[in-house]
Chains A and B, each alone.
Chain A
Amino acid sequence: MSYTSIGIFNSVKDWFSGAPSPESLMSRFVKKGDSRALSALFYQHNNALYYYLLVMSDADLAADIAQKTWLKVIEKKHMYNNAGKFEAWLFTMARNALLDELRRKSRFEHDHAAVDTLTIDDTEDATNDDFHSALKRLPMEQKEAFSLQQEGFSLAEISHICHVPQETIKTRLRYAKEKLKKALEEKQ
């Protein structure tokens, strides 16, 4: 699809849906520098992004990475592929930024595929909420897959974000849900 036809398609889609899609908003920000469009994207997705990062790290790091990611959205808006889902692009940048930071802090010495070896001292975030505690205690790769699924990503999208096959994602999700289910049952 051409640049103009995608814009027309998104406009027609938005007209029928009554609310602009994230892709339309990002397109508007890219083409016109419309800060209101970026603000709308921010309010739509920031909490989800922050919580995903919080599950994967600690509060300070999650806030830093979330902020860096949004600034990267602004800085690299021209690199946004209009044919792709905005959230996938956003979360992929955030994940990469988090892994870069963890490696920089020498908490992770292997390549990006071995995310399951990441560890972080995050027990201070998991004090009162049993589900949150249980989620934080999961191995990195399992809580990542679970969080991304809860944020609405498909298996294919999670597979793409995490750079592993879909079957691997399914396995991680199964283990994550088994442990979380057990945690909920123990809470009851």
Chain B
Amino acid sequence: MSDIDKELSEAYQKSKRQYAAPSRIQRQVIREAEKQKPALPEWFNRETLSMGAAAFVLAVLIVIYNMSDIMNTTNPSHIVDVNIEFHAYEEERPSFDIGQYREQLTAYENSYRQQLTQLDVHSMRLARLEQVEDGWALSDCNDVSIKISDRLVEDLKSLNRISPGLAVGDQVQLALNKDGLILEISYSKAPLTC
């Protein structure tokens, strides 16, 4: 931009600031715009619904695609020597008496909840549901006891990440992300074998 163009531009912008639009325009326009409020919720539109449906289909396809590899995975090697695994939020740590040689806490950060919308499944584990009161307890084919805090169970349930109707004695599969965090617990008909 040349010097004169710059000078003219500055003069124009200065003049524009000096001659501001009257407020009556705003009142009338905003009043009219308020009448445009939709009857349906904002998220209820074709775009959101179609994107939601596409995301759901994609998530299902990813899970199905990974099933054959994941079903061959039994236990991650790092828990071979552990008898009890605790799965709970970081701030619940004082509730668990961790310190025994064969116990391990997998601590969840609050940001974990965001991962539940993505289903980035890295591995699967089969287990039997042993307890559903005061948190959940499961055991896998290596007799490792998996304890899940009540709060974590409630969060998984609220995000539909636990199959409804699971009862003590049911065999389930745990979908885990790459950090070993539980993303989903679903009913499984597969035999509990290692």
A33-B36, A48-B16, A131-B15 as given contacts; A177 in contact with B25, CB under 8 Å: no
Contact B19 A31 (CB under 8 A): no
Contact B5 A132 (CB under 8 A): no
Tell me the interface secondary structure of chain A in the complex.
helix
Chain B interface category by residue count: 20 to 34
**CB-defined contacts of B34 to chain A, threshold 8 Å:** 35
Q: Nearest Cβ in chain B — how far from A126, in angstroms? A: 10
Contact B8 A180 (CB under 8 A): yes
**CB-defined contacts of A71 to chain B, threshold 8 Å:** 28-29, 32
Q: Which of B9, B15, B21, B50 is close to A63, meaning CB atoms less than 8 Å apart?
A: B21
Closest to B22 in A: A63
* CA gap between A158 and B32 in the complex, in Å: 29
Contact A129 B18 (CB under 8 A): yes
* CA gap between A60 and B33 in the complex, in Å: 22
Q: Nearest Cβ in chain A — how far from B39, in angstroms? A: 9
Q: Which of A147-176 contact B (CB under 8 A)?
A: 147, 150
Q: At the interface, yes or no: A76 with Cβ under 8 Å from chain B?
A: no
A66-B21, A184-B8 as given contacts; A51 in contact with B47, CB under 8 Å: no
* CA gap between A67 and B14 in the complex, in Å: 23
Most A Cβ at <10 Å: residue of B7, B12, B33, B46? B33
Q: At the interface, yes or no: A44 with Cβ under 8 Å from chain B?
A: no
* CA gap between A63 and B28 in the complex, in Å: 11
**CB-defined contacts of A147 to chain B, threshold 8 Å:** 12
Q: Nearest Cβ in chain B — how far from A29, in angstroms? A: 8
Contact B7 A184 (CB under 8 A): yes
Q: Which of B8, B25, B42, B50 is close to A181, meaning CB atoms less than 8 Å apart?
A: B8
**CB-defined contacts of B28 to chain A, threshold 8 Å:** 67, 71
Q: At the interface, yes or no: B20 with Cβ under 8 Å from chain A?
A: yes
Contact A70 B29 (CB under 8 A): yes
What 1/0 mask marks residues of chain A from 15 to 54 whose CB sits below 8 Å from any chain B CB? 0000000000000010111110011001000111111001
Closest to B7 in A: A184
What 1/0 mask marks residues of chain B from 63 to 97 whose CB sits below 8 Å from any chain A CB? 00000000000000000000000000000000000
Q: At the interface, yes or no: B57 with Cβ under 8 Å from chain A?
A: no
A35-B37, A50-B21, A63-B22 as given contacts; A42 in contact with B11, CB under 8 Å: no
Q: At the interface, yes or no: B4 with Cβ under 8 Å from chain A?
A: yes
**CB-defined contacts of B15 to chain A, threshold 8 Å:** 51, 129, 131-132, 135
Q: Which of A46, A51, A150 is close to B25, meaning CB atoms less than 8 Å apart?
A: A46
**CB-defined contacts of B29 to chain A, threshold 8 Å:** 38, 42, 46, 67, 70-71, 74
Q: Which 7 A-B residue pairings sit nearest by Cβ, starting from the closest?
A: A50-B21, A33-B38, A35-B33, A131-B11, A70-B29, A51-B16, A33-B36
Can you spell out 26 A-B residue pairs with CB atoms less than 8 angstroms apart? Answer: A3-B47, A4-B46, A4-B47, A4-B50, A4-B51, A7-B47, A31-B45, A35-B33, A35-B36, A38-B33, A39-B33, A46-B26, A47-B20, A50-B21, A51-B16, A51-B19, A63-B25, A66-B21, A131-B11, A131-B15, A132-B18, A135-B12, A135-B15, A177-B5, A180-B11, A181-B7
Question: Which residues of A approach B to under 8 Å, CB–CB?
Answer: 3-4, 7-8, 29, 31-35, 38-39, 42, 46-51, 54, 59, 63, 66-67, 70-71, 74, 125, 129, 131-132, 135, 146-147, 150, 177, 180-181, 184
Question: Which residues of B approach A to under 8 Å, CB–CB?
Answer: 4-5, 7-9, 11-16, 18-22, 24-26, 28-30, 32-34, 36-38, 42, 45-47, 50-51
